[in-house]
């Protein structure tokens, strides 16, 4: 993927790559990361003050307006293009969206992401979310900072100047940043919904989570089968030939690269050394969770970013050379022609490298070249400690595959170890899979578990006593590398219907596999009330995270890597995908009925021919084959039509787009929004402070949101005053019972009544919420609460039905996990007579 040449430094610094959405680089991560709030029920807003590198004595021009007269689809499209450009993503090079899972791209990446952004913007408009120019400017500055968090005006100016090359304006970029802020705030407000979890649900889950089990493992470890592996040269050679691709030697690469030495173009800039290494390590320690890659690779990336940042002149020269070279095919003569045309680069040399792999000083050069096709020029520099390298691959020569007896002693030993390890694992799995059904059959026939295992001479290991909520084995780890989560997932299906099945099937794990015997259940040990309260609060915080997913959706890349939008938005997002799919397949949908008619006629014709041949006692093989093909085609077409019909019906039932009812935020509303996010950004957010925001800005949409956040803040206190929370939510619901934050408020009030023991009013609130807002995320925990109430009342049929509703309607899966576990532990329903 090719990045706009004038943005290379910004792209390297801010995106760390293109075509793939990586975790934020250290500068951006630092801008986004906040100290934890003293009140976990109130999320923080990413608006830190940004110091500026140097004073500017000239009076700045007024910023472009935040509002736009463009139609919403065009506005969203331009904002997405600005986001792509900032993140170094070329939407034309990124796969579009497959809306049905059939491998076809039904809609382009830009079109899909713009549609999603429109939906978010409708919500921000409906809630009246908008900020002042000052807030937006501060956020923009935080996107262009060095590792010390100091604003870099030159970097920001370079980026904004490059917008023109993308047919974008500074207003598009400012509006994109503003609306990103608005969407983040929107996510946090709607995310409060997930935090309203009834205590009765968490307590039931706690009891199941802490139930104690005793179990035995029948272990089939690969290490126990090593002696059974044929240790012969023919067997080893067969394995080697079978895995030839794995053991093939690296290609010989003929590389040319132009090193742009920092000391030539930036002679006064310090290049690092020990100080640079220290800074790299410091950044990595602070932000290691932001890097989805091995530690050494992350450190190397930080180092490259720092070097690129410190040498802007070298980066600018690289961009100029790249742009000039891209006009013609690249070879050594072309490189020499361009380099010779620049007297200021006289001291640079073109170096040829022939390398079998990545090693030594030019490791990054060789790694970069290894990803190119012959004749291709890398769009990004390879960064070494003293230079940016312009890299091109001249030729790639595969090396011949070595015979086994030609390998070095070290290579031969490596192949031998692989052969023994993988062959012994195959034997372990084969024996385990064969033994598991025999064990079940013989135990069911009346033999004891011990006698069957002893006769088969298998390895039985008693497990340490464990719970479903256990995180690890501690010092009592079993002989296999066995995550406790694997044992838990094995035990769960054995608890269906409230009964205990004694034996599992064979379960494969790294290094082998096992069969589990569940010996005894000990129930839940009595826990101190403080521990239970802590568990309840933890479940509520996790619910809030599931509803908000503290992330911004817009820029997606590969569908396999793209995350879902925030939990509160998933149902609408899925319905949007459904609508877009039906629109994209519109012509196909219209033509299916006609094709079904033709296919039915073809079937009728073949059936008639077959009947005639049978009467004439002639060979029917050919016509039978044609009839089967025609029947299969008819079946596929009918299935396709049923799919489209079901999707159209689901689209009608599902949530549609929000229609904004409020006018665009004016100065008063923007001032109120600023006050709210500034309060949320303080280190100690209190309910009193939030209510003061509401009181200072009466009648604004921001004031209502402040009241909701205040109630959530109180609800998440360690010693919660449920009456005070309920009173605040009552005021919200009495004022505007049908606005967009009413479902969260109604759920919160129902949970308060539930936790206070007012079961009947709580049930009425839960049922009203489900009836009025069936597609809202708040309806999911309401259904779960009603299911647990039915479970406690002994109404098994209703409890089963409610839990199934949760499983079917939870777009996130968080509450469905509880419902699935509760449903499994309910007594099985008797079939109707």
Residue 558 has pLDDT above 50, yes or no: no
The helix-helix angle for 312-325 and 332-340 (nearest 10°) equals: 120
Q: CA 677, CA 46: separation in Å to the nearest integer?
A: 9
The enclosing H or E element of 555 equals none
94 Cβ contact partners less than 8 Å away, ≥ 6 residues apart: 19, 109, 556, 557, 558
Here the tokens at position 574 are: 């899925």
pLDDT single digits (tens) 670-715: 999 999 999 998 878 889 999 999 999 999 999 999 999 999 999 9
pLDDT single digits (tens) 409-456: 999 999 999 999 999 999 999 999 999 999 999 999 999 999 999 999
Chain centroid offset of residue 576 CA: 19
- Please state, for a pLDDT cut of 70, what percent of the chain lies above it: 84
Q: CA 471, CA 458: separation in Å to the nearest integer?
A: 28
CB 380 within 8 A of CB 388: no
DSSP-assigned states of every residue in 325-382: HTTS---HHHHHHHHHT-GGGTT---EEEEESSS-STTHHHHHHHHTSPTT-B-SS-E
- pLDDT given for residue 48 in this prediction: 45
The enclosing H or E element of 505 equals strand 503-509
CB 368 within 8 A of CB 382: yes
- pLDDT given for residue 254 in this prediction: 83
pLDDT single digits (tens) 22-62: 333 333 333 333 333 434 444 444 444 445 445 455 566 78
Q: CA 150, CA 156: separation in Å to the nearest integer?
A: 12
| 315 confidence band (pLDDT: 50, 70, 90) | confident
Q: Which of 412, 261, 299 is nearest to 26 (CA)?
A: 299
Here the tokens at position 645 are: 């019909």
Q: Which of 55, 315, 135 is nearest to 675 (CA)?
A: 135
Q: What is the mean pLDDT of residues 487-501?
A: 75
The residues that bridge with 259 in the sheet, in sequence order, are: 389
Pairing of the two strands 382-383 and 512-524:
unpaired
- pLDDT given for residue 349 in this prediction: 56
Here the tokens at position 24 are: 């934020």
- pLDDT given for residue 365 in this prediction: 82
pTM above 0.95, yes or no: no
CA–CA distances in Å: residue 387 to residues 115, 276, 327, 382, 763: 43, 15, 24, 8, 68
The enclosing H or E element of 480 equals none
């Amino acid at each position: 993927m090719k990045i706009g040449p004038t943005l290379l430094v910004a792209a390297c610094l801010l995106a760390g790559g293109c075509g793939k959405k990586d975790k934020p680089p250290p500068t951006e991560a630092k801008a986004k990361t906040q100290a934890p709030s003293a009140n976990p029920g109130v999320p923080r807003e990413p608006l830190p003050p940004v110091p500026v590198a140097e004073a500017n004595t000239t009076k700045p021009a007024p910023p472009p307006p935040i509002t736009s007269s463009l139609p919403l689809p065009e506005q969203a499209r331009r904002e997405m293009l600005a986001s792509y450009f900032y993140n170094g993503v070329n939407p034309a090079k990124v796969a579009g969206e497959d809306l049905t899972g059939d491998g076809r791209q039904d809609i382009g990446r830009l079109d899909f992401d713009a549609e999603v952004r429109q939906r978010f913007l409708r919500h921000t408009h409906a809630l009246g979310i908008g900020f002042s120019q000052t807030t937006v400017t501060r956020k923009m500055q935080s996107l262009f900072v060095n590792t010390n968090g100091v604003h870099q005006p030159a970097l920001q100016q370079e980026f904004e100047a490059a917008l023109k090359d993308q047919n974008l304006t500074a207003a598009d970029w400012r509006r994109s940043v503003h609306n990103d802020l608005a969407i983040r705030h929107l996510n946090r407000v709607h995310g409060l919904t997930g935090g309203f979890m009834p205590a009765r649900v968490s307590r039931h889950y706690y009891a199941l989570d802490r139930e104690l089990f005793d179990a035995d493992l029948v272990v089939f470890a690969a290490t126990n089968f090593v002696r059974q592996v044929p240790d012969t040269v023919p067997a080893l050679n067969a394995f080697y030939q079978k895995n030839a691709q794995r053991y093939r030697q690296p290609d010989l690469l003929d590389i040319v690269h132009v090193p742009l030495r920092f000391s030539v173009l930036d002679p006064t800039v310090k290049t690092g050394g020990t100080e640079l290494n220290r800074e790299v390590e410091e950044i990595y320690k602070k932000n290691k969770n932001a890097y989805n890659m091995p530690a050494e690779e992350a450190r190397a990336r930080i180092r490259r970013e720092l070097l690129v940042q410190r040498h802007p002149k070298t980066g600018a020269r690289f961009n100029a050379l790249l742009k000039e070279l891209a006009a013609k095919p690249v070879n050594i003569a072309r490189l020499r022609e361009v380099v010779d045309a620049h007297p200021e680069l006289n001291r640079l040399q073109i170096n040829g490298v022939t390398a079998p792999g990545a090693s030594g000083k030019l490791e990054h050069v060789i790694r970069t070249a290894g990803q190119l096709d012959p004749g291709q020029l890398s769009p990004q520099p390879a960064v070494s400690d003293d230079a940016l390298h312009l890299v091109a691959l001249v030729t790639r020569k595969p090396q011949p595959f070595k015979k086994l007896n030609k390998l070095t002693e070290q290579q031969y030993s490596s192949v031998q170890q692989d052969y023994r390890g993988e062959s012994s694992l195959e034997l372990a799995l084969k024996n385990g899979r064969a033994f598991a059904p025999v064990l079940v059959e013989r135990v069911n026939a009346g033999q004891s578990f011990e006698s069957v295992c002893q006769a088969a001479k298998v390895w039985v290991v008693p497990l340490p006593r464990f719970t479903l909520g256990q995180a690890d084995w501690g010092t009592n780890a079993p002989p296999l590398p066995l995550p406790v989560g694997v044992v838990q997932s094995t035990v769960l299906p054995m608890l269906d219907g409230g009964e205990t099945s004694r034996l599992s099937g064979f379960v494969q794990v790294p290094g082998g596999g096992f069969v589990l015997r569940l010996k005894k259940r000990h129930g839940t040990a009595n826990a101190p009330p403080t521990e239970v309260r802590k568990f309840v609060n933890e479940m509520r915080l996790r619910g809030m995270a599931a509803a908000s997913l503290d992330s911004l959706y817009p820029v997606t890349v590969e569908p396999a890597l793209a995350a879902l939008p925030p939990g509160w938005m998933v149902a609408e997002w899925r319905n949007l995908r459904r609508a877009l799919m039906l629109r994209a397949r519109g012509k196909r949908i219209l033509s299916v009925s006609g094709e079904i008619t033709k296919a039915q006629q073809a079937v009728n014709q073949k059936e008639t021919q077959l009947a005639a041949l049978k009467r004439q006692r002639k060979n029917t093989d050919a016509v039978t084959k044609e009839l089967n093909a025609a029947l299969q085609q008819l079946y596929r077409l009918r299935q396709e039509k049923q799919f489209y019909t079901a999707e159209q019906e689901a689209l009608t039932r599902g949530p549609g787009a929000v229609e904004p009812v409020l006018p665009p935020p004016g100065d008063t509303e923007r001032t109120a929004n600023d006050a709210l996010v500034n309060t949320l950004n303080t280190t100690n957010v209190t309910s009193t402070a939030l209510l003061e925001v509401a009181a200072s800005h009466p009648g604004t949409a921001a004031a209502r949101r402040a009241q909701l956040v205040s109630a959530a803040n109180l609800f998440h206190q360690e010693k919660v005053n449920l009456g005070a929370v309920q009173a605040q939510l009552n005021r919200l619901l009495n004022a505007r019972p049908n606005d967009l934050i009413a479902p969260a408020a109604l759920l919160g009030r129902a949970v308060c009544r539930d936790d206070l023991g007012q079961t009947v009013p709580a049930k009425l609130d839960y049922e009203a919420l489900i009836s009025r807002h069936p597609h809202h995320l708040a309806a999911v925990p309401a259904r779960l609460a009603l299911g647990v109430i039915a479970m406690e009342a002994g109404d098994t049929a209703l409890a089963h039905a409610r839990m199934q509703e949760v499983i079917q309607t939870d777009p996130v899966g968080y509450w469905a996990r509880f419902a699935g576990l509760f449903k499994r532990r309910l007594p099985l329903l008797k079939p109707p007579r």
